[in-house]
Amino acid sequence: MAMPVEMAGASDIDTAQMDGKVAFATWFYNVGDLAMNVMYALPGERRQGLEGAWHPRMGAQRIHFTRF
């Protein structure tokens, strides 16, 4: 019987710059069958991916795992 393959890794980072500074960055981080979209944004950045996104200062109640 074949053993399941466990993998971990991150995607390339996609960035947007403003005035020579990184204003927004996003990448995916995968561990096994769990994938997270990690995003960084300067204060005031309005990006579609940030709408409804969780931030650590909101507390852990906002994290929702979904299979897809």
pLDDT of 54: 75
The residues that bridge with 34 in the sheet, in sequence order, are 31
Give dist(CA 56, CA 42) in Å, integer: 15
pLDDT of 37: 87
pLDDT digits (tens, 9 = 90+) for 14-59: 998 888 889 999 999 888 878 888 888 888 888 887 887 777 777 7
> What CA dihedral angle connects 16, 63, 4 and 7, to 10 degrees?
30
Measured at the CA of 9, the angle between CA 67 and CA 17, to 5 degrees, comes to 95
Domain assignments of the chain as residue spans, ordered by start: 8-62
pLDDT of 61: 62
Give dist(CA 68, CA 49) in Å, integer: 18
Under 8 Å between Cβ of 37 and 28: yes
pLDDT digits (tens, 9 = 90+) for 5-25: 677 888 889 998 888 889 999
